Structure 1
Amino acid sequence: MLSLKQRLHVTIRGAVQGVGFRPFIYRLATELGLVGWVNNSAQGVFVDVEGTQAQLQNFLLRIEQQKPPQSIVQSLESKFLAPVGYQQFEIRTSTGGEKSATILPDLATCSDCLREIFNKSDRRYGYPFTNCTNCGPRFSMIEALPYDRANTTMKQFQMCARCQSEYENPLDRRFHAQPNACPECGPQLELWDRDGRVLALRDRALLQAAASIRQGQIVAIKGLGGFHLVVDARNEAAVRRLRDRKQREAKPLALMYPSLESIQVSCQVSELEASLLRSPQAPIVLLQRKLEVDSAMVAQRTAFGIAPSVAPGNPYLGVMLPYTPLHHLLMAELGFPIVATSGNLTDEPICIDEKEALQRLSSIAEVFLVHNRPIARPIDDSVVRVMMGREMVLRRARGYAPLPIQVTGIGEAGEQRSRGAEEQRELGKLGEKKQLSAVFTQCSASVNCQLSTVNQQLTPDSLLAVGAQLKNTIALSVNEQVFVSQHIGDLATVPAVNAFEKAIADFQQLYQVKPAAIACDLHPDYSSTQFAQNSGLPVIPVQHHYAHVLSCMAENDLIETDNKPVLGIAWDGTGYGLDGTIWGGEFLLATETSFERVAHLRTFRLPGGEKAIKEPRRVAIGLLYGIFGEELFEMQHLAPVQAFSDRELGILQTMLQRNLNTPVTSSMGRLFDAIASILGLRQQTQFEGQAAMELEFAIAGFDPDERYSFEILATSSPAIVDLLPMVREILADIRCGLPLGKISAKLHNTLVEIVVAVAKSVGEENIVLTGGCFQNKYLTERAIKRLQAENFRPYWHQRVPPNDGGIALGQIVAATFRLSNRK
């Protein structure tokens, strides 16, 4: 009876657009005999539905239980209203408004679409741009919210009658699939030479590109979020030529295999790793090689069939499966693994436009496989590895970005400003009692003045964070969500800085948000910091390692309303310290509002400053000078001393004697560099982290429980972790001929015991492990196990990178609480 009917209004927020949520609601409502409507809005999905109370309760329950597999429901709000007498259920036109809906990342080809492109009787047979509501491009093609075809790069393609019929049918899996297309009406392939002349079209273009790869040529392929540079991964000459032309000396190259079974020939693949490879995110997964011993050179080990230059000296391969129909068709034609590395020169952003690719990549690639579907923004492949039985994202891009990070405390910080004045005063007193140290004491007087004059107008509902210099990402807070961008990269070149600035403009335009303030790193020379200072917005500098800790806290839901501290262990290569030195081996007692530096590694000097970052031999000289002084330059048996000429040693000696361009550091990353040099593993590096990686790889086959000596000098504040006893013992082991792998294992074990020792001295239960050094699997897993054995509760990164790719998230958290007066 009509009098028994009730009306329910439901607001669903999260990743609910472009995943078939509206047709799901339509099917569910009609199955339950409900009437009303559903539509997309810029805030999410709205449902207005009428029925009996039992029907409506069942409706709500089944939304939670049966929602589309790729959707992510972050909030579902419902309220009962007076019925209005709907006669049927319908899908209404999308509405606009404030932009806060979650944009879904680009998703790998689903099994249904895959069957179609390999089914000769299907009209999409062999079509490289097949997709549906469960898969295909999203973030790489959306230009504005709400997510409708007119707001995507597919707007130029008019759907044919059959595609339009699918698009309009609520019972079809392509209902409102915005990139929907077929060979008759959608994008098409072309093969070009270096001059842009068309060599082949459509299917022939793909076949000729495959033939070029077989012949050892380098092919530039326009994919989902940009270009790949592709060669036969088994062809050593082709791989070397690609490295030379791309100017990438030694950094590992990513591989794409035709199938999981072919990956298992080359690599060890766990159940979780296989799941990641086949997931909708389809990232690059770091897998341990299956090794064979070369009878001519026992020490040289290579993966079956893969050219040695793909990942020289590395026991891991970065591997992915095809994730678009184009890749599936290409790999099915080839049947062997290919190198699929980013389409750029080193330190430049990835190419997304075919005309631009001709200009920037013509010195690298022989032919170009392109298409006419525009790419809205560059998106690299994501990189993950399994750590402690969990996924750890090392590069967050395709498949993951721009899904937001929900930070519970941020919403509470915003709510504080609406409370009564008396309650605010009480919270302020509580905050003063629990204050550990002022995190912004090093900010300039002008910045503090600027903040104080506008503090009443600022809200943490719209903040921009511009990240760090390396592995840059930016972040934007919109209400209670933090949207972290795709990986942008190192801001080392003008094109990279341009891409960084474009990403900032893109996020603000996409969400139609004008930030109230901008958070940045303390380092004055970072390109991101300089952008912030020139932005005209109030600037909130955040110390680098504190941002690392807050990032991990936010990801692990440790942002507390009662200011409960954690011990944050932030180990990386470089970060500007509050005292003007280079930090990087830090122990921070931290809350969301402040931190105290309770301990750090003993400092040493870096002769040559920035130059030392690429020369572990310089770092080693600086470290050893702190032990031996002038005597060091007579110790010709030491590997780092042998790595310099007499003239160079004389210059270094003068620099250290007079403190000329020898900045002080406590960096764990630089300590790894120094030990790698002392062991003779690496004197100069071709890419960031190379020396530390080789130290980790050297452990293979060794797993001793021994460690070296160290001291914690607690007479000062902060305490100093003195590793000079460890260095002396390493030198003794070298003289005794101990295998390098065993020395490296003892080194790592020592670092783990330092973590435990400082944790015991501080006494906080919650321990946060963050910073680029905790990408090291041996170090991280051993530290977690030892902390757990000592009844601590360790936390580490999963979906947010531990490296500088996570810095922007931490900056947002710090800035939010700064502006909410919780200090």
Structure 2
Amino acid sequence: MEKSRTARQRLVVTGQVQGVGFRPFVYRLAMEGGLSGEVRNAPEGVVIEIQGDEPMVAAFAGRLQAELPPLARIVTLSVQDVSPREDESTFVIAKSHAGEGHSVLISPDTATCEDCLAEFNDPADRRHLYPFINCTNCGPRYTITRSIPYDRPVTSMACFPLCEACRAEYENPLDRRFHAQPNACPECGPRVWLTDAAGQGLAEGREAVAACARTLAEGGIAAMKGLGGFHLVVDARNERAVEELRTRKHRKDKPLAIMVPDLAQARAVAEIGPEEARLLTSAERPIVLCAKRPDASLAHGIAPDTDFVGLMLPYAPLQHALLHEYAALYSPPLALVMTSGNVSGDPIALGNREALARLSAIADVFLLHDRDILIRADDSVVRVDAQRHAPVFLRRARGYTPRPVFLSRHGPCVLGTGPELKNTLCLTKGDQAFVSQHIGDMENLQTFAFWQEIAAHLADILRVQPEFMVHDLHPDYLTTRHALEQAGYPGGLPVAPLQHHYAHAHAVLAENRFEGRAVVLALDGTGYGEDGTLWGGECLLVDTESLDHARLGCLTTLRLPGGEAAIREPWRVAQAALLELGERAPGARPWPWLQSFAAASNVVGQMLDKGLNSPATTSCGRLFDAAAGLLGLSMTIGYEAQAAIVLEQIQDPLEGSAYPCPLMEENDRLVLDARALLAALWADRAATPAQAARRFHLGLAAGLTEMAARAAEIAAVDTVGLSGGCLLNMTLAQKLVRSLSGRGLRVLCHTELPPGDACVSLGQAVWGRRRLEINSCANRSSQAGA
């Protein structure tokens, strides 16, 4: 038999291939194929050279892609035949060096894997119930990493020298913990302890976790250090404890997330479909909104406005340990509130001292540990769109960042500063856009400091320097002021503004890698418009190539008496709508707010009559507020979109008729008559609130469909994008997708980012990239002409 020829190949891999067991995986493949060579990190990615019998070398690239470790993701793979070497007989894993790994992505934090859980639950294992168990297939990554390459000295594990047993695992290429940077055990790793609110020690080790469980069982509140920050924890079945948490945290009505031990106990409190089950048990472990079971033994105060509950399964071993101890005190189903460890409006608490200082007025006990969190990251929140069988993000953070959004092509590095509310920032690199974790509402200096931390950290780990910065058009936003201030410094970046809703449009098109002209419905609360008014219900034409854009349509305006006060008090918007409709007195059907808001209502009436502090807006979000106010559902709100959530919640799904929402044309612009929609709702005295809410939703969806379809016809395009926070209303989103598709239009939705303001930074960044490219082409043409 003829002997196989010797072959050699050089492979370069980019993607999520560091800290995920990729190099030991390559090593095992090489050993199984009898191959020699090496694997190493390099500026262009992970470089692999393999040599051996030609069939084994030829099969290697296919196996590399087909048999990846659980957390690894290949973005690009190039294969090149090179000349064999005569002086090589082994395969080695080369060490990383500073400055390498420019094209290697850091893995997000991931949930404890099944192998580690088996050891965690085994009384004979040396890591039995150890709250920091992990391996290359699971555990913290992004939140403990200071810089790249991702090696232990640049993580918060640097201060924990490995014991002999852990080092043997760490250095063995065939071990599951080979180069698992957070590797540790009870002998050499982080420790856990419990204190009171003054920081006085109460217990250590397993007893600390057990004592924390007892506090919760007695109705107390605990602050618990997690992967990306602190959680505030109470028993989700204890009504008094839940209400006490709300009082101390200043969180009146906004839903609270809960954690249950496993999928079986999740099914005891909520309806779990296949997609919800997949998300709950995924490595990312987001909070998943699920329909509550009628017999769920949860406190009413968990989610008072909705029949949905935010569920998550434990993703960190300390959470598994707490639920293990809690199971000894209570019978299933177990459920603990796990909400962000902060006072509403502030970033999540990060360090032990910070948590004790900021949360001592809320928590009775603190479950602490000494592994530092370097990067804040809240829990991600998703909801399943049953029509598309796909998740919709409400918040994208832990588990998903710093995973990139892949763009249609390569381009320069641009920083999108993001919006004022639900802020994220975005940095682009090559054909990837890195949207940060949820940062929050930019209403205080603490949140802005968090924004600055993340902007610097992302630039460092990506090894990029932005060439351009894009900010919102609103002149008073913190990010706008920051962009303009730094532009004035010597060497400052060039900056440019992009209107909020055009940023939404570019974001949804970029997510879908769409290039060209499209119509986009941008539907949300309010954004500063190009004409100085408040937009929010917009039908836009966008060209991603030329960057030309036009406002083809919008909703009729509503007035906001008191400005920001009207956003917090929907009754003001409802009263303004009635006055616009000619309703000047209570009449046969009393206005629902007169008894509780009589004095304020009189003042609002005068403001509207005199045009004082009553800006007009085309906002779709405020339209929902007006409808909820007219129906007496939400006079005041405690969190964003509360009125819209209540309005969607109460609707009668069996109701089939819709209120009219006619399309008009004014000054060469399509205008959707939202006032007619509200007039019909107000006049429909025979309808129940549930029927009226449904007719409102159906009428609005039909009107928006007509406006988008007509705009697409005018612009001669066949693609419609949907973006904005109002698309988190599943009734509206699903009706629009179905009806627009029925008109023969291609409908693009957000799939990787929330449709709300968290996507704005992506739209800013991709618009900025294209603007740089256009300017560069113009400069080259000018120089050539000269």
Q: Could you say which TM-score interval applies, normalised by the shorter chain?
A: over 0.9
Q: Does 1:379 align with 2:396?
A: no
**Offset at 1:145?**
0.6
Secondary structure of the residue aligned to 1:38 is strand
Q: Does 1:154 align with 2:105?
A: no
Corresponding position of 1:404: 404
Corresponding position of 1:87: 89
Secondary structure of the residue aligned to 1:221 is strand
TM-score for both structures, normalised by structure 1 = 0.89
d(CA) in 1 for partners of 2:692, 2:222? 43
Secondary structure of the residue aligned to 1:639 is coil
Q: Does 1:725 align with 2:728?
A: no
1:756 to 689, 705, 717: 705
Secondary structure of the residue aligned to 1:240 is helix
Change (3 A) 1:2 1:655: farther
d(CA) in 2 for partners of 1:512, 1:633? 64
1:539 to 481, 488, 495: 495
**Offset at 1:51?**
2.8
**Offset at 1:6?**
3.2
d(CA) in 1 for partners of 2:585, 2:149? 66
Secondary structure of the residue aligned to 2:190 is coil
Q: Does 1:118 align with 2:129?
A: no
**Offset at 1:480?**
2.0
1:314 to 279, 285, 306: 306
Corresponding position of 1:570: 522
**Offset at 1:613?**
0.9
Secondary structure of the residue aligned to 1:495 is helix
Alignment of 1:262-341 (within 5 A): 262-292=265-295, 304-335=296-327, 336-341=334-339
2:541 to 586, 589, 599: 589
Secondary structure of the residue aligned to 1:306 is coil
C-alpha contact 2:672 2:704 (8 A) present in aligned 1: no
**Offset at 1:542?**
1.1
Change (3 A) 1:641 1:196: closer
d(CA) in 1 for partners of 2:297, 2:664? 52
C-alpha contact 1:19 1:68 (8 A) present in aligned 2: yes
Change (3 A) 1:2 1:814: farther
2:578 to 607, 624, 639: 624
d(CA) in 2 for partners of 1:106, 1:639? 51
Percent identical residues? 42
Secondary structure of the residue aligned to 2:581 is helix
Q: Which amino acid aligns with 2:351?
A: D
Change (3 A) 1:532 1:638: farther
C-alpha contact 1:467 1:811 (8 A) present in aligned 2: yes
Q: Which amino acid aligns with 1:571?
A: L
Mean alpha-carbon deviation: is it higher for 279-288 or for 708-717?
Answer: 708-717
Q: Which amino acid aligns with 2:170?
A: Y
Corresponding position of 1:39: 40
Corresponding position of 1:548: 504
d(CA) in 1 for partners of 2:430, 2:3? 39
Q: Which amino acid aligns with 2:396?
A: R
**Offset at 1:15?**
0.9
Change (3 A) 1:597 1:581: same
C-alpha contact 1:571 1:584 (8 A) present in aligned 2: yes
Mean alpha-carbon deviation: is it higher for 656-665 or for 571-580?
Answer: 656-665
C-alpha contact 2:724 2:756 (8 A) present in aligned 1: yes
Secondary structure of the residue aligned to 1:741 is helix
Corresponding position of 2:240: 237
Deviation per CA, 1:757-792, whole angstroms, max 9, x where unpaired? 123312332221110000111111122122222222
**Offset at 1:672?**
0.3
Corresponding position of 1:770: 723
Corresponding position of 2:560: 606
d(CA) in 2 for partners of 1:20, 1:570? 42
Secondary structure of the residue aligned to 2:28 is helix
1:746 to 669, 692, 695: 695
Change (3 A) 1:28 1:643: farther
Deviation per CA, 1:126-168, whole angstroms, max 9, x where unpaired? 1010000100000010111111111111011100111111111
C-alpha contact 2:663 2:673 (8 A) present in aligned 1: yes
2:187 to 180, 184, 189: 184
Corresponding position of 2:346: 348
d(CA) in 1 for partners of 2:595, 2:103? 56
**Offset at 1:641?**
5.3
d(CA) in 1 for partners of 2:63, 2:610? 73
Q: Which amino acid aligns with 2:559?
A: R
C-alpha contact 2:347 2:440 (8 A) present in aligned 1: yes
d(CA) in 2 for partners of 1:217, 1:645? 37
Corresponding position of 2:107: 104
Change (3 A) 1:644 1:209: closer
C-alpha contact 1:621 1:640 (8 A) present in aligned 2: no
C-alpha contact 2:46 2:101 (8 A) present in aligned 1: no
d(CA) in 2 for partners of 1:565, 1:479? 23
Mean alpha-carbon deviation: is it higher for 155-164 or for 496-505?
Answer: 496-505
Corresponding position of 1:361: 359
d(CA) in 1 for partners of 2:689, 2:257? 28
**Offset at 1:510?**
2.6
d(CA) in 2 for partners of 1:467, 1:400? 18
Cα RMSD (Å): 1.7
Alignment of 1:123-522 (within 5 A): 123-292=126-295, 304-335=296-327, 336-387=334-385, 388=387, 389-409=389-409, 411=410, 414=411, 460=412, 462-522=413-473
d(CA) in 2 for partners of 1:108, 1:641? 48
Change (3 A) 1:565 1:640: farther
C-alpha contact 1:42 1:146 (8 A) present in aligned 2: no
Q: Which amino acid aligns with 2:662?
A: E
Q: Which amino acid aligns with 1:728?
A: A
Q: Which amino acid aligns with 1:355?
A: R
**Structure 1: gaps of 5 or more residues:** 293-303, 415-459
Change (3 A) 1:588 1:749: same
Change (3 A) 1:728 1:3: closer
Deviation per CA, 1:292-343, whole angstroms, max 9, x where unpaired? 5xxxxxxxxxxx2111111113100001001111111211221320111000
C-alpha contact 2:405 2:752 (8 A) present in aligned 1: no
C-alpha contact 1:38 1:91 (8 A) present in aligned 2: yes
**Offset at 1:658?**
2.7
Q: Which amino acid aligns with 1:289?
A: K
**Offset at 1:494?**
2.3
d(CA) in 2 for partners of 1:745, 1:578? 33
Corresponding position of 2:72: 71
Alignment of 1:631-650 (within 5 A): 631-633=583-585, 635=587, 637-639=589-591, 642=594, 645-650=597-602
C-alpha contact 2:527 2:536 (8 A) present in aligned 1: yes
C-alpha contact 2:41 2:101 (8 A) present in aligned 1: no
d(CA) in 1 for partners of 2:163, 2:599? 74
**Offset at 1:39?**
1.6
**Structure 2: gaps of 5 or more residues:** 328-333, 488-492, 779-786
Change (3 A) 1:44 1:98: closer
d(CA) in 2 for partners of 1:721, 1:786? 17
d(CA) in 2 for partners of 1:594, 1:273? 40
**Offset at 1:481?**
1.4
d(CA) in 2 for partners of 1:636, 1:150? 74
Corresponding position of 1:8: 9
C-alpha contact 1:44 1:102 (8 A) present in aligned 2: no
Q: Does 1:690 align with 2:639?
A: no
Q: Which amino acid aligns with 1:805?
A: A
**Offset at 1:639?**
3.0
Deviation per CA, 1:410-450, whole angstroms, max 9, x where unpaired? x1xx4xxxxxxxxxxxxxxxxxxxxxxxxxxxxxxxxxxxx
Change (3 A) 1:186 1:626: same
Q: How many residues align?
A: 754
d(CA) in 2 for partners of 1:788, 1:656? 41
